[in-house]
A and B are shown apart, each in its own frame.
Chain A
Amino acid sequence: MNKKTNIVGLLQRSSVPIMFVIICALCIPIAGLSPSYLINEIVTRMGRNSFLILSLLVPIMAGMGLNFGMTLGAMAGEIGLILVSDWQIVGIPGMVLAMIISVPNSVLLGFFCGKILNMAKGREMITSYIISYFMNGVYQLVVLYLMGSIIPIAHTSIKLPRGYGIRNTVSLLSMRQKLDNLIPLTIRGVKIPVMTFIIIALLCLVIIWFRRTKLGQDMRAVGQDLEVARDAGINVERTRILSVIISTVLAGIGMVIYLQNMGNIATYSSHSQIGMFCIAALLVGGASVDKASIGNVFLGVVLFHLMFIVAPRAGAYITGDSMIGEYFRVFVSYAVITVALIMYETNKRRAKSLAGAQLAAEQEAQK
Chain B
Amino acid sequence: MGEKTDIKKEKGWFGRLVEDFGLPRLIITLFLILLLILAPIVGADFPSQITNIIARFSWNGILVLAMVPMVHSGCGLNFGLPLGIISGLLGATISIELGFTGALSFLMAILIATPFALIFGCGYGWLLNKIKGGEMMIATYVGFSSVSFMCMMWLVLPYKSPNMVWGLAGKGLRTTISLEGYYSQTLAKFLQIRIGNFVIPTGSLLFFALLAFLMWAFLHTKTGTAMTAVGSNPTFARAAGINIDRIRLLSVVMSTWLAAIGILVYEQGFGFVQLYMAPFYMALPAVSAILIGGASVNKASITNVIIGTILFQGIVTMTPTVMNNMIHMDMSEVIRIIASNGMILYALTRKTEGAK
Contacts and interface: CB of A to CB of B under 8 A. Distances in A.
Direct contact of A and B (CB under 8 A): yes
Interface string A222-250: 00000000000000000000000000000
A298 interface: no
Given A145-B329, A345-B131, A334 B137 contact: no
B138 A345 contact: yes
A134 B345 contact: yes
B345 A338 contact: no
B333 A123 contact: no
A141 interface: yes
Contact residues of B: prevailing secondary structure:
helix
Interface string B114-155: 000000000000010011111011101110110011011001
A179 to B, nearest CB: 33
B141 A338 contact: yes
A211 B356 CA distance: 32
A88 interface: no
B284 A133 contact: yes
Given A134-B338, A141-B331, A129 B132 contact: no
B133 A130 contact: no
A144 interface: yes
A121 B162 CA distance: 52
B145 A145 contact: no
Interface centre among B137, B140, B329, B341 (most CB of A within 10 A): B137
B338 A129 contact: no
Contacts of B155: 319, 321, 323-324, 327
Interface string A318-340: 01010110011011011101100
B141 A120 contact: no
Contact of B334 (A127, A141, A328, A345): A141
A120 B349 contact: yes
B156 interface: yes
Contacts of B141: 334, 337-338, 341
Given A140-B333, A145-B334, A324 B134 contact: no
A93 interface: no
A192 interface: no
Contacts of B132: 349
A129 B338 CA distance: 14
Interface in A333-366: 333-335, 337-338, 341-342, 344-346, 348-349
Contacts of B331: 141, 145
Given A137-B334, A331-B151, A126 B145 contact: no
A293 to B, nearest CB: 22
B345 A116 contact: yes
Interface string B281-295: 000100000000000
A137 B341 contact: yes
Given A122-B133, A127-B349, A331-B148, A137 B156 contact: no
A214 to B, nearest CB: 29
A131 interface: yes
A260 to B, nearest CB: 28
A138 interface: yes
A262 interface: no
Contacts of A138: 338
Contact of B137 (A125, A141, A346): A125
A116 B337 CA distance: 18
B342 interface: yes
Nearest to A337: B141
Which A-B residue pairs are the 3 nearest by beta carbons? A137-B337, A345-B131, A137-B338
Given A125-B134, A348-B133, 14 more contacts: A120-B348, A130-B345, A131-B345, A133-B284, A134-B341, A137-B337, A140-B333, A141-B338, A321-B155, A331-B148, A333-B148, A338-B142, A341-B134, A341-B141
21 contacts: A123-B137, A123-B348, A127-B345, A131-B345, A133-B284, A133-B337, A134-B337, A134-B345, A137-B342, A141-B338, A144-B334, A145-B331, A327-B152, A330-B148, A334-B145, A334-B148, A338-B142, A342-B131, A342-B138, A346-B130, A349-B133
